[in-house]
Amino acid sequence: MNRGAVIAIAAAAVVLVVAGGVTAWILTRPPGPEAVAERYLQALSDGDFGTIEGLLAERDEGLDAVGAALAGATGFISDYSFQIENESDAARTVRADVELDGEPAVVGFGLVQQDGGWKIDGDYLASLEAQTMIGDAVRVGGELFPAATPIPLLPAVYPVVAAPAGLVVGEGIAVVSNEAPVTVTIDATVSPDATARAQEQLDAYADACAAPADAVPANCGVRVPWAADLATLNSITFRIDAYPAVTIGDDGQTFAAVDGEIVATAQGTTRAGQPGTFTYRADDWALRGTVEFTGDEMVLAVR
């Protein structure tokens, strides 16, 4: 036999070896639907998003967030078995009976032929809706998502935490399969850190209110009765002796900063036509307004 070139034909592969073993090509048969379904379920059980992503027929919008959430999941499917039903020559439907968080659950997905092989397609994502008492967002597996709207996720067990983190507290657990949509409600409350952060912001706001000006600043809770003593006002300077102390309402929607102390010195022309300087003091300086927890931010609006 001439050993310069050998061609071996096997049932599952064609191997071509060129003389000297310099170059070799191995052409393997693409995995069938059973193998792809098994690989996908194994990846779900491992929390292996990289493998899952490579098995998808299409890359849906928002898939990065789905993968980031899976990385923060606290539990995955286990003890799975599956059945495949033929829809057509190029499509299959898979139903997998799994264990999730110690309970039986169902994971379903589709398979389609693509580029000569099989890919995951169809309704493979689960749906979670997270309600929160405060704010308009939550963190699922550490990833920020809007509240009160369906959140696409891969089947897993996810921690759901109120947002913004550190400013609002409250958490829950969502056991998510795609057998049916899941809803979780977070009993969120405002954290002490939110009050401290709000105080910092309102102190800075108060400093801006107390900047020298030629008129009484608006939306600053300051009333200077200079018109009782002056015909015209040229300038006002302020001194803050105590900043208003902030309290955020239990519902997280309003704030009140009270018991501030501020001194205003007004300069201008008296009704007699003479230069005049008058000082006024307020021991009940207050700032009030609304609070919004939006995404990862707390926004204060002074009325």
* Average pLDDT value for residue range 128-146: 96
Task: Copy the structure tokens of residue 80.
Answer: 């799975």
Domain locations along the chain: 1-30, 33-121, 127-189, 192-302
pLDDT at 13 over 60: no
Residue-wise pLDDT tens digits, 46-92 = 999 999 999 999 888 889 999 999 999 999 999 999 999 988 889 99
Distance CA 130, CA 138 (A): 7
Tell me the percentage of the chain whose pLDDT exceeds 90.
83
Residue-wise pLDDT tens digits, 258-276 = 999 999 999 999 999 999 9
Q: Which of 59-63, 81-85, 168-172, 193-197 has the lowest mean pLDDT?
A: 59-63
Predicted pLDDT of residue 35: 96
Fold (CATH) for 33-121: Nuclear Transport Factor 2; Chain: A, (3.10.450)
Contact between residue 153 and residue 126 where contact means Cβ atoms under 8 Å apart: yes
Predicted pLDDT of residue 188: 95
Ranges of beta strands (E only) in 163-231 are 168-169, 171-176, 182-186, 189-190
- pLDDT band for position 141 (50/70/90)? very high
- pLDDT band for position 28 (50/70/90)? low
In the sheet where 117-121 sits, what is the strand order? 78-88, 91-100, 103-114, 117-121
